[in-house]
Amino acid sequence: MLRGLYTATSGMMAQQRRHETITNNIANMNTPGYKADNPMIRSFPEYLIQRIGDKPRGTLAPKLGRVAQGVFMEEKVPTFGQGDLFETSNIFDFALVSNLQVEDATFDRSGKYINEDGEFIYQPQAFFTVINENGERRYTRNGRFVVNPQGELMTPSGYRVLGANGEPVQMNGRANVKMDKQGNVYDSLTGLRINDVQPFLISRVENPNKLVREGHGVFKLGEDEEVRAVERGDLVEIHQNHLERSNVDPTQSMIDMMTAMRAYEANQKVIQFYDRSLDKAVNEVGRIY
């Protein structure tokens, strides 16, 4: 009986964390470049149940079957699908559109491909490259940038945007900046090329599932993970005066949230049933009149 209590309790905890993940996605529905998290729920190892105590000597106990010990939410995996673009009036708003490919791989809508050997290959993703106050590189799809008093381009949360030379992008007091889809910088009034403003350093992350969400719309990546700057021929475009919407599906999120709530309530009823059964066992069974 107590095993059932533990199983139902673990189910409630997993559904609570799932609900929190979905509500966080909904809360960031209007955050530019936000990538939705998918909760991954996994069951505990199963155990084989056998009868004991009534088997003939020298024989094996008959098997009754397998039973699981509950579930837990193992991790939250971001979905890096492309979000829609919307136009803004800010010249320092930028959006990335990427469709990076790997040779001999055809990716599905989730950005995954399984080759003939059964190996998973994930679609690479492009990111703006920024650095934090400690000089550590981070990656983001939120291209809503501002200019600080030192003339550096940075995110609203204080991360400086890196240029192709690996240094923070300096605007040098320029307000008439135009960037084409390939990242080349021009003067919007004269149409002449601007050489003292570096184009963005756009990083290609080979396996985006290795990215760890750090907050403020940025991700970090381990030092041993493969990342490099995008090259000519990579299907990546920069759109100025645009921002990328989050890829949260509001309809599916509401459905998932209701599903998590119903599953939570079902586990709650199981616990209430066991509570009533234990109450009868303690207070009524074996009562001496």
Residues 6+ apart with CB under 8 A from 155: 130, 140, 142, 144, 145, 146, 161, 216, 217, 218
Query: Does residue 20 carry a pLDDT above 90?
Result: yes
**Would you give the DSSP letter of residue 280?**
H
Per-residue pLDDT band for 73 (boundaries 50, 70, 90) equals confident
Above pLDDT 70, what percent of the chain? 92
**Would you give the DSSP letter of residue 81?**
P
Above pLDDT 90, what percent of the chain? 48
Q: Which two tokens stand for residue 144?
A: 């809503």
Backbone angles phi, psi at 198, to 5 degrees: -70, 140
Residue 53, pLDDT score: 63
CB 166 within 8 Å of CB 228: no
Rounded CA-CA distance 276/261 in Å is: 23
Least confident of 21-30, 49-58, 188-197: 49-58
Rounded CA-CA distance 262/252 in Å is: 15
Q: Which two tokens stand for residue 106?
A: 């055809």
DSSP string, 15-57: HHHHHHHHHHHHHTTTSTT---EEEEEEEPPEEEEE--SSSPT
Residue 83, pLDDT score: 92
Query: Does residue 195 carry a pLDDT above 80?
Result: yes
Of residues 89 and 62, more confidence is placed in 89
Residue 248, pLDDT score: 93
> pLDDT digit string (tens) for 200-252?
999 999 999 889 999 889 999 987 788 889 987 788 999 999 999 999 999 99
> pLDDT digit string (tens) for 259-287?
999 999 999 999 998 888 888 887 877 66
